[in-house]
Amino acid sequence: MKIRMTAITTAALCLGLAAAAVAQDNPVAKREQMMKQVGASVGALGAIAKGEKPYDAEAVKAALTTISTDMKVFPDNFPAGSEVNSAAAPAIWDNMDDFKAKSMKLASDADTLLASMPADQAGVQQAVQTLGANCGTCHQTYRLKR
Amino acid sequence: MASTWSKIAAVGVAVIGLGAVTAWALTKPEPHPESFWANAGTPDLAHGEQLFWAGGCASCHAATGAEGDALKVMSGGRALPSPFGTFHIPNISPDPNVGIGGWTLAQFGNAMTRGVGPNGEHLYPSFPYGSYVRMSPKDIGDLFAYLKTLPASSNVARPHELGFPFNIRMAVGGWKLLYFSEAPRVELASADEKIRRGQYLVEGPGHCGECHTPRNALGGFESGKWLAGGPNPEGEGKVPGITPSGPIGSWSEADIVNYLETGFTPEYDSAGGAMVEVQKNMAHLPKSDLEAIAAYLKAVPAL
């Protein structure tokens, strides 16, 4: 488990770089990288929540900031017709306003948490629950396994 | 000449008649007798509630988009798309007029485990009684008593919109003849008690195979493909396999338990599609039940 978390953190760093380098003009790659970063950030919080890693205010702040930053621009990477070769559901383009609202909701939940930083393991557990509820709500309607 | 023709015609009619009689005999609804349901005992409401979540009743019978307490209002009304047409889910709240408030335990039990409606008609297998048939009379009694504690709703669902011949309930008899069985979906040679508990939950109330097993053109499970995954029966995309050779083959049993509890995969991806509601239901179960499900998923044949 330790190894896995280190791997996730390392992966998050690499992805951050890769996202910047590779995904410039490919919206599918760009949004999938963002989702991977968001996933890795929740993973970093999850490790603290589960007690696999000690509480670390800097790590918590970094994770929440990544989620907030990514989710504010995430919906900008869905030009018409870009569901091809991706897990994005066509329903996104029928309900773009709702899709954007769901993305912003996750960003603002992260902002709220940043404003009153979770101060210990219990706080991080709470944060993971709050953030996590957003993932399923959006994936239920807007992501398809292909 | 005329008499020959009429003889032939008579024989033909007789044959057709015989065929119809045989077909009727083979495919008529077969409820259990009243006595079968007489020994359900005093209902255990807490167990009934667990079966309610394990069985995912709310995912179909609550209103579209229901959350929180609204998930316990079994008003029906959701549309369930399928390759055969659109089903409109009925009201199973305790309302005495439009719900199941006036039903006997036998009527409820025969719907749940025989696919037979209160007037003796076949029910469509989009209601997953092909899985619920594995529940005992005691389970059914507990669940029925729990459902009666939920709020009543006066909603009346629209009739189903199905194409011919699926709009004829009699046709369901043929489906039952071919596919309806309470036999175990897989034979597990050395299953301990935990795995058998998992088998009951997955093959029975949890009805996991209804989405995770591919179907043929008649809506029956393809044989030898238990939990192997396939096209999404409710629309676009596909449903992943959940046997040890599927994507979850690399997950530990603890990873599977955590997924059912929180919706997060070991990579911190989060469940999507129809699995979101299933996961929220499973999160209501005791951890020991989730561990039993994980043990069973590790024990089924890798496909």
Residue B63 sits in the same domain as residue B151: yes
Do residues B86 and B141 share a domain? yes
* Residue at B13 is within a domain: no
In this prediction, residue B24 carries a pLDDT of 67
- Whether this model's ipTM surpasses 0.90 comes out as no
The CATH number for A87's domain is 1.20.120.10
More confident residue, A17 or B70: B70
Rounded-to-integer distance, Cα A38 and Cα A71, Å = 8
Count residue pairs from A and B with Cβ separation < 8 A: 58
Is residue B52 located within the same domain as residue B162? yes
A27, part of any domain? no
Structural domain total, chain B: 2
The pLDDT assigned to A145 comes to: 82
A146–B264 C-beta distance less than 8 A: no
Mean pLDDT, consecutive 10-residue stretches, chain B (303 aa), reads: 45 48 77 90 96 98 94 96 92 97 97 96 96 97 98 96 90 92 92 96 98 92 95 84 96 98 94 95 98 98 94
Cβ–Cβ below 8 Å for B263 and A137? no
Which three-class secondary structure string do you get for chain B? CHHHHHHHHHHHHHHHHHHHHHHHHHHCCCCCCHHHHCCCCCCCHHHHHHHHHHHCHHHHHCCCCCCHHHHHCCCCCCEEEECCEEEECCCCCCCCCCCCCCCCHHHHHHHHHHCECCCCCECCCCCCHHHHCCCCHHHHHHHHHHHCCCCCCCCCCCCCEECCCCCCCCHHHHHHHHHCCCCCCCCCCCCCHHHHHHHHHHHCCCCCHHHHCCECCCCCECCCCCCCCEECCCCCCEECCCCCCCHHHHCCHHHHHHHHHHCECCCCCECCCCHHHHHHHHCCCCHHHHHHHHHHHHHCCCC
Residue B190's Cα: distance from chain center in Å?
27
Residue A133 lies inside a defined structural domain of this protein? yes
Q: Which domain holds residue B110?
A: 34-179
A residues 56-75 lying closer than 8 A (beta carbon) to B: none
What pLDDT is stored for residue A23 in this prediction?
Answer: 47
Nearest CA in chain B to A43: B268
pLDDT over 60 at A45, yes or no = yes
Domain-located, residue A47:
yes
Q: How far is B42 from chain A (nearest CA, A)?
A: 38
Is A55 among the domain residues? Answer: yes
Which residues in A lie closer than 8 A to residue B280 (C-beta atoms)? Answer: 136
CA closest to B271 among chain A residues: A136
| Residue A130 predicted with pLDDT over 50 | yes
Q: According to the model, what pLDDT value does residue B22 have?
A: 66
pLDDT at site A24: 55
What is chain A's mean pLDDT, rounded?
87
